[in-house]
Amino acid sequence: MFGLEPWHIIVVLVVAVLVFGGKRLPELGKGIGEGWRGFKEGLSGNNSTTPEKPGDTTHTVTPAAKDELKPPPAA
């Protein structure tokens, strides 16, 4: 579909350096990476900031969450 050759990539990199400058490119790359990571987390529904271990079964329950876990009072 796209016939990207090595000289295409070189031209894009040269234009990026000329437009943004050498000092700003790492910041730009970091911002794009964080945005992409946030986009992927939004799609997967994983909103935690720390990755969970596969075998980790310990969870912290807040007082508000404890109230949600209680069954409704019988009428």
- 61 CB-near residues (< 8 Å, 6+ apart): 69
Per-residue model confidence as pLDDT tens digits over 26-60: 898 899 999 999 999 888 876 555 555 565 556 56
Per-residue model confidence as pLDDT tens digits over 2-31: 777 889 989 988 998 898 888 888 898 899
The alpha carbon dihedral of 37, 43, 47, 52 has a sign of negative
pTM of the complete model: 0.42
DSSP class of residue 7 equals H
**Helix axis angle, 6-20 relative to 25-44, nearest 10°?**
110
CA separation for the pair 43, 15 (Å, rounded): 32
